[in-house]
Structure 1
Amino acid sequence: MPPQRETSRTWGGRFTRATAPDALAFTASIGFDIRLYPYDIRVSIAHARMLAACGIISARDRDRIVAGLRAIEKEIESGRFRPQLADEDIHMAIERRLVEKIGAVGAKLHAARSRNDQVATDARLFVKDAIDAIDAAIARLQSTLLDVAERDGEAVLPGYTHLQRAQPILLGHHLLAYYDMLERDRERLADCRRRTDVLPLGCGALAGTTLPIDRRMLAKELGFKRIAENSIDAISDRDFIAELLAALAIVFTHISRLASDITLWATSEFGFVVLDDAYSTGSSMMPQKKNPDIAELVRGKSGRVFGDLLALLTVLKGLPLAYNSDLQEDKEALFDAVDTTKASLEALAALVG
């Protein structure tokens, strides 16, 4: 049986047949972009306030929309509202639920915006928060390295070139080399955050809107320092994600080297360190073993983050302007790289400490 007529979707006006179930399953992003719901709610509240300030909707409609959005946020947090595959993405899921809760006035929220500028704004807010969290995790690892250097830094050990013993060095000197690497990582992340701090909301699908909106009010409300000047670039740009993933790949280049040092130092052949039992594993067959699994996994997970970067660059490299559905592929790489980096930094700090 062919799909039946479907006109309930925001974009469904010209269509006479519903999306085929297999096509919907393939194109929907709700399975992963639901993670953006706090940002989408925040963006929508700011948008509703701006629409009212510009006289596009009434103050009464604004208040109903904002109250409805706050209620939906609580429903998602508590698990009482579960988006459906038919929603396609988190933006439409929230708008659909808003109309269910407050009626047709909820549809007014979509005035003067597109999912294109909406998702670009959500993603930038996510990236800014992710950078802050990763910067804090790097700082904790740096602090741990300093603590070990202060406690045991006078210990003398061989320094190596070509993995051959070269000159005697102090443990503290060796550990602080990683401190400096991590400091450069923090500088790169700070630069990336500065370039991310640009508001795309108000750019619409690609060429703005004829409605009299106030983008500077949106920027202030959402905490962006600048507004995007070129709407086509703002919609199609994912440089900020690519730059973050590149910075995280370099973080992993550094912490993977630290993990490799720890793995070598814990061997019987080197014998420079003894790993805490709480952060080691053993063997089901060889009871004498103490395995440096955390260090090995940090080293191994570098491949995931390198892969996330390469995947995104491959998506972006041949796209014509402006928006294309290919850009939907940015989020899983982004989420995976951020999660993997935070978890690895925290695990490595615990191991080193």
Structure 2
Amino acid sequence: MKLWGGRFTKETSQLTDDFNSSIHFDHILYKYDIYGSIAHATMLGKQNIISNEEAALIVSGLKEILQDIEDDRVEFDVSAEDIHMNVEKLLIEKIGDTGKKLHTGRSRNDQVALDVRMYVKDKIIYIDQLLHELQEAIIKIAEGNIDTIMPGYTHLQKAQPITLAHHVLAYFEMFKRDRERLMDCYKRTNVLPLGAGALATTTYPLDRTYVASLLDFDGITMNSIDSVSDRDFSIEFMSAMSLIMMHLSRFSEEIIFWCSDEFRFVQLDDEYSTGSSIMPQKKNPDIAELVRGKTGRVYGNLLGLLTTMKGLPLAYNKDMQEDKESLFDSVNTLSMAIPIFTKMIDTMKINKENMYHSAGKGFTNATDAADWLVKNQVPFREAHAIIGKLVLYAIDKNKTLEELSLEEYKEVSSIFNETIYDSITLEACVNNRKVDGGPSRESVEKVIFINKNYLLNKKK
């Protein structure tokens, strides 16, 4: 007989048990379910809803069950449906009828809401730490490549010279925002729903604030209906994870370009590359490609939960059982993707000469040539047109701007003099951009200092 089976005259069919059961995936919530039950039983004893002796026996039994599960001595029962009923069933088997008092004053509706919130809190902290390690790897690359000049791109066309340090620090900022989003999500997750009951609380004198303090929640939810029907925190977390994967995917896309024979900017370590089953020369960036591919999986999980929730009336509906598999899958995906991506970029070899050589092509210093004219009293739009003509002339002559003679410059505009050459070297193009947030050595060193302090403070 099911623990809820009092008003039923038949056992559910095996088909119903299999379809209705969630134990095959929600068993991973076991420790959160047990911690929540320990806090609930402790509160029941404190409030004299059950005796202190009964509360102590329940707590002792729950701790033994926790150890049994972690020692792999428990086989979960599909007919008990979910982790909550499985734990309660195990408790009754272990300590007898006193175990039947554990569920006093609560429902599976507020119980599962608690378990998932506890899970999300833990995983937010875990993923934040993985991002911290990724940011440390990015800082390491930046510190070693402050003077590594490379082409910056717009529209995948060479635009202006920058440094590799400046380029990778853009991703540092993305992951910084990701961490801020995670912590913001944590605040809204960190409120206790337990005590809401099925949807309308209970007549027992529960002390919800006491339970919140036992479980390290900042406070309690303020509406019992919302408490059991809210999955905003899961959706928000999955949204934050989707953005993290989007940033990893963008970085992966560039790594894939950079290690191609056409770019040859980086070389991936053998530990983080794969080969071809037919072409012996191949060294493929499969890790970066898989990160890029798994991003769609995480997006799909978010969209799936949004779709599940969009038409649900208040309060709890069984549809909400579908919130967990997608959440767990996204967490598992990030838990694999972030560490291996971190190792991949931490071990890759930077081909500085190739980057520098590439930056010298494509007229990436054309803007600086225009700026030279502006500094010599030529209106910007006129300067823009002059350099455009000069670039067209250089293309026709198969030369770079540095290779043009002063006479050729003067044929386009008499304003040019020999100082133009000092302004269009790659080094000048980079290091004259001293605006805060720019690519100059001075600016990048300042940003690295700020970001290293950020990482130190985040570690405390």
Q: Secondary structure at the match of 2:210?
A: helix
Structural mapping, 1:81-100, within 5 Å:
81-100=74-93
Q: Is the 8 A contact 2:41 2:55 kept in 1?
A: yes
Structural mapping, 1:1-353, within 5 Å:
8-353=1-346
**CA displacement at 1:253 relative to structure 2:** 1.2
Q: Secondary structure at the match of 1:152?
A: coil
Q: Secondary structure at the match of 1:13?
A: helix
Q: Is the 8 A contact 2:145 2:163 kept in 1?
A: no
The alignment's TM-score, normalised by the length of structure 1, stands at 0.97
Give the Cα–Cα distance (whole angstroms) in 2 for the partners of residues 116 and 174 of structure 1: 48
Give the Cα–Cα distance (whole angstroms) in 2 for the partners of residues 266 and 258 of structure 1: 12
Letter in 1 for 2:220: I
Give the Cα–Cα distance (whole angstroms) in 1 for the partners of residues 3 and 199 of structure 2: 17
**CA displacement at 1:153 relative to structure 2:** 3.2
Give the Cα–Cα distance (whole angstroms) in 1 for the partners of residues 314 and 271 of structure 2: 52
Matched residues, number: 346
Displacement over 3 Å in runs of 4+:
none
Larger Cα Rg: Structure 1 or Structure 2? 2
C-alpha offsets along residues 152-201 of structure 1, whole Å, 9 cap, x if unaligned?
A: 23211111111111111100000000000000000111110000011000
Give the Cα–Cα distance (whole angstroms) in 2 for the partners of residues 154 and 78 of structure 1: 54
**Structure 2 unmatched ranges of 5 or more:** 347-460
C-alpha offsets along residues 259-298 of structure 1, whole Å, 9 cap, x if unaligned?
A: 0000000000011001101110011211111100110000
C-alpha offsets along residues 122-157 of structure 1, whole Å, 9 cap, x if unaligned?
A: 000000000000000011101100001111232111
C-alpha offsets along residues 217-263 of structure 1, whole Å, 9 cap, x if unaligned?
A: 10000111010110000000000000001111111111100000000
Bigger mean CA offset, 31-40 vs 57-66: 57-66
Give the Cα–Cα distance (whole angstroms) in 2 for the partners of residues 133 and 101 of structure 1: 33
Letter in 1 for 2:270: D
Letter in 2 for 1:99: I
Letter in 1 for 2:281: Q
**CA displacement at 1:61 relative to structure 2:** 0.7
The alignment's TM-score, normalised by the length of structure 2, stands at 0.75
C-alpha offsets along residues 83-117 of structure 1, whole Å, 9 cap, x if unaligned?
A: 11111000000000100010000000010000000
Give the Cα–Cα distance (whole angstroms) in 2 for the partners of residues 81 and 320 of structure 1: 37
TM-aligned CA distance change 1:145 to 1:190, over 3 Å? same
Give the Cα–Cα distance (whole angstroms) in 2 for the partners of residues 183 and 216 of structure 1: 33
Give the Cα–Cα distance (whole angstroms) in 2 for the partners of residues 227 and 297 of structure 1: 40
Give the Cα–Cα distance (whole angstroms) in 2 for the partners of residues 143 and 154 of structure 1: 19
% same residue: 55
Give the Cα–Cα distance (whole angstroms) in 1 for the partners of residues 307 and 189 of structure 2: 21
Give the Cα–Cα distance (whole angstroms) in 2 for the partners of residues 101 and 234 of structure 1: 31
**Structure 1 unmatched ranges of 5 or more:** 1-7
Give the Cα–Cα distance (whole angstroms) in 2 for the partners of residues 189 and 50 of structure 1: 31
**CA displacement at 1:11 relative to structure 2:** 1.4
**CA displacement at 1:52 relative to structure 2:** 0.2
Give the Cα–Cα distance (whole angstroms) in 2 for the partners of residues 279 and 187 of structure 1: 29
Letter in 2 for 1:260: E
Q: Is the 8 A contact 2:117 2:189 kept in 1?
A: yes
**CA displacement at 1:10 relative to structure 2:** 2.2
Give the Cα–Cα distance (whole angstroms) in 2 for the partners of residues 194 and 84 of structure 1: 35
| Pairwise CA RMSD | 0.7
Letter in 2 for 1:246: S
Give the Cα–Cα distance (whole angstroms) in 2 for the partners of residues 260 and 203 of structure 1: 47
**CA displacement at 1:53 relative to structure 2:** 0.3
Letter in 1 for 2:124: I
